[in-house]
Structure 1
Amino acid sequence: MAPSSFAGPSEPGSVAGHRISRRNVLRGAAAGAGAVTLPALLAACGGGPGGDGKTVTMGSNASDPVPRKAFAEAFGAYGKQSAEGRKVKVNTVDHNTFQENINRYLQGQPDDVFMWFAGYRMQFFAKKGLLHDISDLWAGYKGFSQALEDQSTGEDGKQYLTPYYYYPWAVFHRKSLFRERGYQAPGTLDEYVALAKRMQKDKLVPIAFCDKDGWPAMGTFDYINMRTNGYEFHKNLMAGEEAWNSRQVKEVFDTWRRLLPYCQPDANGRTWQEAATSLQKRQTGMAVFGLPHPGQQFPESEQQDLDFFPFPVINPEHGQDAVEAPIDGYLLAKKSRNLKNDKTMESAKDLLKWLATGEAEDIYLRHDPNNIAVSSEADTSGYTPLQRKAVELVSGAKQISQFLDRDTRPDFSSTVMIPAIQRFIGDPKDVDGLVNDIERQKKTVFASG
């Protein structure tokens, strides 16, 4: 995903208590999945300062089975092609646990390389001095567009991230269900609502909906905002430069409130996996997700039945210009003890240079077809129809956003927006009170520097 950071999702009226229980649940989930738990994450580096010079430790948030296996294949391939005997030691942590504790992780004893996100979420930690500058590597990178370089660049003009893949968000559905029921992909919000009403008459829950993890519903907010007010307003709102209690933001929540009767109820208690599975089981008709989310819950035999359409038009002035397409990649942790050893730093940079190649992306995507390669040197001939459609969606966009919790300060997204959106989902009546509260907290957070 496009997950949250620092603090976990909180239910309205039970913020502190919910975070504690949430983290306990996550630790249990991590242990049950065979993932490294939080204490191991915060002390991930082994072998003392410098390590052995050839082993690069990798902090991974890829705890879900499909990406975890795909990364293992890619890192294994790196070791096999290394003439110097270099290899990658992967420390996998439950996805949400990793996101919620990233600040402590980077300021403690992080791995040499770790998985993270482009754009603001990278810039935030670069500005704090927690990342190594890799501008020297970028001078030799090939196959990356200027837009990718921009999203990998800090406020100081230096590059800090090696991009690896991206995935667009859209409205997903089953082709066979639409064909059997005679449903047509809607182009406008009114058509979207009309389709939802028709699905209700057909005894379907129209829209799969979830926010237990704290981040999934952000995608819906982003699209309603960009479709209503345009990308520039959305970008400025995320940067703290627009008021959350403005007429424009109130209109976003009012529009969202119009859609809630067609969404699965009790979304704050539902994980994204459960929502995606409901789509797979034909219990729901549509779902606003990123490409990997439904893909990971559909068995291979049903992958060809998965399809999507762009989030519908709300304001014709902005049409469907903007597409949400988060970029994931790799970064070097400044406080890694191992990277104080020149040989380990050389090995870590060698790994990044290899991961920046089309070959490395090809290996990963052969095992996880739910993402799209960022390198123009990657082999796309084996892409599924869904992947090719995703490429067309992004390539045709006039603007690309990174997701709410990546386009704004991580402390604002985690401590303000997660509970605010969950509060709205639980009780959508008091929009004025909600946006006034967000604006008040925003001023405090952004004033903290």
Structure 2
Amino acid sequence: MTQHSSVPLTGQGPGRRKVVGGLFGLSAAALAVPVLSACGGGPGADPKTVTFGSNGADATPKKAYEAVTKAFTQDSGLTVKTNTVDHDTFQNSITSYLQGTPDDVFTWFAGYRMQYFAKKGLASPVDDVWDVIGDGFSDAAKQLSRGHDGKYYFVPLYNYPWAVFYRKSLFRERGYEVPRTWDEFIALAKRMKKDGLSPVTSGYGGGDSWSVLGAFDYLDLRANGYDFHMQLMRGEVSWTDRRALRVLDLWRELTPYYQSGGAGRPWQDAAQSLIDKKSGMAVIGLFVGQQITDEAIRADIDFFAFPEIDRAHGQDAVEAPTDGFMLSRKPKNEDAAKKFLEFLGGARAEELYMGVDPSNLAAGEQADTSAYNALQTKSAELVNSARHISQFADRDSDPGFIGTVVLPGLVEWLGHPDDGSSVLKKIESQRSRFFTA
């Protein structure tokens, strides 16, 4: 799977980057990234070839996409030329890539992130594709795939929930019980620390600062509810609102139980700490399974929904980002590209992908889930039981605002957590640059 929700600088011009980057000490050079470029296309392009821009550079998703494209070629006789780029470079270069000569089909994300490029005219509508695949998706999936103009611009492949993961054998050995409420969660963290464990593993270094957004989102969703969280993400309420301050109050209560050195540790190392039983819990996505090669250990991994903070909101919201595909604005082989999207939006493609990468859930309703492992089955139940599904902060909001203002501020705050008023004032001072009334 695309293992995380990396924060790009989507749609932000150099001037804005300098302004908000300077707010938290980020220079233009620090934000510079390699450029993603297309792998083919142009006048005289082979009508039997579809070019595919993929951010699935890690071994597991790369192998999964290879299985999918091979099957499509066997079925259609069309060749897929895949341009695989590492996840962060793909995200950070996406705007210039789409403004140039992009691949016909490219990997991307549902919701706001898709709608942004649709509105900018950097992607093509795919309503005719949905005429073919539409019966296989829920109304929620359809909603996530439409632009502001009501047209379809996105074909979902999978989603993956975030939760609090742990090892069942560790809990059994130590006599730990799964917490349901915030007070129970903090009490368990205290007990784990006393037992010599790092209660909550932490890894947001090496370009993985995006990972802290999972905790922020859940704290806001549990303390203030889905509606407020989405208003905050859309720039409709102030970041100095007492409810936002409440989120950092709660987070500060948890930070003493984080594994030390998180700012210098990538998410994979944090996940390994959980797997090795050096840490007791991890607020992370289902992609934690990518770190596991021993099936006995995979069977020992479990999770619980992020704890209840306010009874009025309970645990009714689940963070479950959805990944899939879009069609570039001027595909060189439009007919072939749409045939490829029809295949990608079908049950067979989902089954092939999930058969290689068990750290995801099929987004469609017609995929055979009988081969799901226990973790996938439980994850699907969690997503299906949710009253509200959020994507991720950088997907539910302007990614430039999150990436250059909110995220640097939160990471800085995590280094020296205080009452949060100062960092929230800094964030609020930049809100109007990204959101207009």
TM-score range, shorter chain: over 0.9
Contact (CA 8 Å) 2:24, 2:408: kept in 1 or not? no
Contact (CA 8 Å) 1:165, 1:373: kept in 2 or not? yes
How big is the shift at 1:268? 2.0
Q: 1:64 aligns with which of 58, 66, 71?
A: 58
Contact (CA 8 Å) 1:161, 1:331: kept in 2 or not? yes
How big is the shift at 1:109? 2.0
How big is the shift at 1:50? 5.0
CA-to-aligned-CA distance 1:58-91 (integer Å, 9 cap, x gap): 1111111111111111111111111xx2021111
Q: Name the residue aligned to 1:145.
A: 138
Q: Name the residue aligned to 1:5.
A: 8
Separation in structure 1 between the aligned mates of residue 294 and residue 79 of structure 2, nearest angstrom: 31
Query: Is 1:194 paired with 2:196?
Result: no
Q: Which consecutive residues of structure 1, in runs of 5 or more, have no partner in the other structure?
A: 24-37
Q: Name the residue aligned to 2:370.
A: 381
Query: Is 1:16 paired with 2:27?
Result: yes
* Residue identity opposite 2:399 in structure 1: P
* Residue identity opposite 1:196 in structure 2: A
Q: Name the residue aligned to 1:108.
A: 100
Query: Is 1:238 paired with 2:233?
Result: yes
Q: 1:131 aligns with which of 105, 119, 123?
A: 123
How big is the shift at 1:413? 1.3
Q: Note the 1:303-382 alignment, pairs <5 A.
A: 303-334=298-329, 336=330, 339-340=331-332, 344-382=333-371
Q: 2:177 aligns with which of 173, 184, 190?
A: 184
Contact (CA 8 Å) 1:206, 1:286: kept in 2 or not? yes
50 and 426 in structure 1: CA distance in 2 versus 1, 3 angstrom threshold? farther
Query: Is 1:220 paired with 2:215?
Result: yes
Q: 2:78 aligns with which of 74, 86, 104?
A: 86
How big is the shift at 1:345? 0.5
Q: Note the 1:428-447 alignment, pairs <5 A.
A: 428-429=417-418, 431-447=420-436
13 and 266 in structure 1: CA distance in 2 versus 1, 3 angstrom threshold? farther
Q: Name the residue aligned to 2:248.
A: 253
Query: What is the aligned-residue RMSD (CA, Å)?
Result: 1.8
Contact (CA 8 Å) 1:227, 1:313: kept in 2 or not? yes
Separation in structure 1 between the aligned mates of residue 321 and residue 119 of structure 2, nearest angstrom: 20
Q: Name the residue aligned to 1:409.
A: 398
Contact (CA 8 Å) 1:10, 1:418: kept in 2 or not? no
* Residue identity opposite 2:335 in structure 1: E
Q: Note the 1:410-429 alignment, pairs <5 A.
A: 410-429=399-418
TM-score by length of 2: 0.93
Separation in structure 2 between the aligned mates of residue 376 and residue 50 of structure 1, nearest angstrom: 39
Three-state SS of the structure 2 residue aligned to 1:140 is helix
Three-state SS of the structure 1 residue aligned to 2:51 is strand
Contact (CA 8 Å) 1:405, 1:413: kept in 2 or not? yes
Q: Could you list the runs of 4 or more consecutive aligned residues of structure 1 that deviate by over 6 angstroms after TM superposition?
A: 7-12
318 and 18 in structure 1: CA distance in 2 versus 1, 3 angstrom threshold? farther
Contact (CA 8 Å) 1:267, 1:425: kept in 2 or not? no
Three-state SS of the structure 2 residue aligned to 1:289 is strand
Three-state SS of the structure 1 residue aligned to 2:27 is helix
Contact (CA 8 Å) 1:169, 1:323: kept in 2 or not? yes
Three-state SS of the structure 2 residue aligned to 1:400 is strand
Contact (CA 8 Å) 2:23, 2:405: kept in 1 or not? no
How big is the shift at 1:107? 1.2
Query: Is 1:76 paired with 2:64?
Result: no
* Residue identity opposite 1:51 in structure 2: A
Separation in structure 1 between the aligned mates of residue 8 and residue 406 of structure 2, nearest angstrom: 11
* Residue identity opposite 2:83 in structure 1: N
Corresponding pairs, count: 422
Q: 1:208 aligns with which of 201, 223, 237?
A: 201
Separation in structure 1 between the aligned mates of residue 211 and residue 49 of structure 2, nearest angstrom: 35
CA-to-aligned-CA distance 1:336-382 (integer Å, 9 cap, x gap): 5xx24xxx110000000011111111011110111000111100111
Three-state SS of the structure 1 residue aligned to 2:124 is coil
CA-to-aligned-CA distance 1:164-183 (integer Å, 9 cap, x gap): 00000000011111111111
Q: Note the 1:252-291 alignment, pairs <5 A.
A: 252-291=247-286
Separation in structure 2 between the aligned mates of residue 18 and residue 314 of structure 1, nearest angstrom: 41
Three-state SS of the structure 1 residue aligned to 2:435 is helix
TM-score by length of 1: 0.91
Query: Is 1:49 paired with 2:49?
Result: no
Three-state SS of the structure 1 residue aligned to 2:153 is coil
